[in-house]
Structure 1
Amino acid sequence: MSKVLIIEDDFSVGEMMSIYLNEEGYEVKKAETGRLAERYFHDFEPDVIVLDIMLPDANGMDLCTTFRNSSSTIPILMVSAKSEVSDKVRGLQTGADDYLGKPFSMRELAARIQALLRRSQAAAVPSSAPKPAKPEQAIQLDIAKRCLFVHEQAIETTFSEFEIMKLFWQNQGRVYSREELLNRVRGFDSYVTERAIDVHIANLRKKIESDPKEPKYIKTVWGVGYKFLMA
């Protein structure tokens, strides 16, 4: 049974989410403050977090950063009544994997959680996983196990980062516009903006490039977008 930590200060909204997800078969813990959320994060060890931005004793963005610093893989679904693009982009920048604007249906909430858990489980790689087939190459991608290797070391990525890397890997040399990357990674109906793609690219460069400011692999094609080349 997957465990969901709901962090929501509105009692009625949190209770409604908790009841619905319980009926869907999830084990749920509900926190109405940032302090309690941090305690449950360590004691409950959730498989996915539903995090509201507005809390009485904490900023949801800061709390997201705290969780992400402790775990780079646990899925975080940020929810908020704030619908400005800047808020959504900032949420992704702080480490959220998805952003759901209020009001939302319980069916959509459950579908988002299910998708995040499915991707998280697919991305899990056993510690005994074999080394990449071609260790002589600086970068390897094991698509089946959803694992990125840099100099034979497994590198943790977010779901979106891996999807972008997979697209690059399978189409080396092809130039992708931000819009194309956005559509392939999140879908045509997504709230994510092209600015978020730049954030994902910057994070990928930090993980695979020896000097992110002078990238050898993920190249910027000015005025168009990005391409990937094995150096």
Structure 2
Amino acid sequence: MTEHVLLVDDDPVVRDLVREYLQGHGFAVSVLYDGAGLKRRLEMERPSIVVLDVMMPEQDGITALRQLRATGDNIPVIFLTARSDVIDRVVGLELGADDYLPKPFDPRELVARIRTVLRRQSTVSPGAPEIRPSYRFGPFEVDFAARELRRNGERVPLRSSEFATLKIFVKNEMTVITRAQLNERLRGHSATYRDRSLDVSIWRLRRLIETDPSEPRYIQTVWGQGYIFVPQGETGAAERYGAGSPVAG
């Protein structure tokens, strides 16, 4: 089974370089731009390990790990940080980090540490399921097993293409997803397509989940890049988070 790494780092250059290197060494990689979304991400998918940057503007890695461990979640975590402060390292390890790698680092060392932690983890606990049964945002619940969307407990009819599109969005919350990435994940290739089926699926989704589809709050357009799913329905998120490199887990 392919080992899955969730990389949490606010630097788009680091995200892209590390993701490309890890994928080249056989890992599946998804990304998250900030520690504030870590707990929610782990509620809907279960990576093999989390590589977590310490220094991030919205929520730092130490706070994110503290909150995660407070819930009893023991998923393996490797810290990345530009700090050389021994106190930060000690605090991180005491909170339950499995390893600690200072920046700048050789990506070969990161691969070695990931494999070491995963080997150690495999001897003490069985693998967890990759995806949790459901995901909630606003008044909605996405049931992955039943492939259903419910609003306040009532089923919302969705076509299979619309559910597949929604699933990609909720698995990549607060991450800019380009049209090419959506097309590749939905169709299994990255070739340019001529029909407007993707536009239709997004338009239909917006009509179902948005109060005003002309001013969407959940599926927001990032002009010139793609789309971003905002589970809290925060207006203006596309402008704030669209400046980074568009990636999708």
Q: Normalising by structure 1, report the TM-score.
A: 0.52
State the Cα distance separating 1:19 from its structure 2 match: 0.8
Aligned to 1:132: none
| 2:46 corresponds to | 45
In the alignment, structure 1 segments of 5+ residues that lack a partner are 127-231
Paired position in structure 1 for 2:67: 66
- Is contact 1:4–1:48 with CA below 8 Å preserved after alignment? yes
Partner Cα separation in structure 2 for residue 114 and residue 124 of structure 1? 15
One-letter code aligned to 1:15: D
1:71 Cα deviation after fit: 4.3
Q: Secondary structure at the match of 1:123?
A: coil
AA aligned to 1:82 is: R
Residue 35 of structure 2 is aligned to residue 34 of structure 1: yes
Please give the residue correspondences for 1:98-113 in structure 2 after superposition, counting only pairs within 5 Å. Answer: 98-113=99-114
Higher relative contact order (Cα pairs below 8 Å, separated by 6+ residues): 2
Structure 1 position 18 matched with structure 2 position 24: no
Q: How many angstroms apart in 1 are the aligned matches of 2:12 and 2:64? A: 19
Query: Take 1:66 and 1:19, find their aligned partners in 2: how far apart are those partners?
Result: 29
Aligned partners of 2:73 and 2:39: how far apart in 1? 16
| Distance apart, 1:44 and its partner CA | 2.1
% identical equivalent positions: 37
- 1:90 maps to which residue? 91
Match of residue 10 from structure 2: 9
2:76 counterpart residue number: 75
CA distance in 2, matches of 1:42, 1:75: 15
State how far apart, in whole Å, the 1-side matches of 2:19 and 2:79 are. Answer: 16
Q: Give the Cα separation in 1 of the matches to 2:92 and 2:75.
A: 15
Aligned ranges 1:60-209 → 2 under 5 Å: 60-124=61-125
Correspondence for 1:57: 58
CA RMSD of aligned residues (A): 1.7
**Shift in alpha-carbon separation, 1:5–1:60, aligned structure 2, 3 A:** same
Unaligned 5+ runs, structure 2: 128-249
Counterpart contact for 2:79–2:97, Cα < 8 Å = yes
- Name the SS of the counterpart of 2:123 in structure 1: helix
> TM-score under structure 2 normalisation?
0.48
CA contact (8 A) 2:36 2:64 kept: no
Distance 1:70 1:26, change over 3 A: farther
Output one character per residue of 1:87-132: Cα deviation in whole Å (capped at 9) or x when no partner: 1101111211111000001100000000000000111269xxxxxx
Aligned-partner Cα distance in 2 for 1:71–1:2: 22
Counterpart residue identity of residue 79, structure 2: M
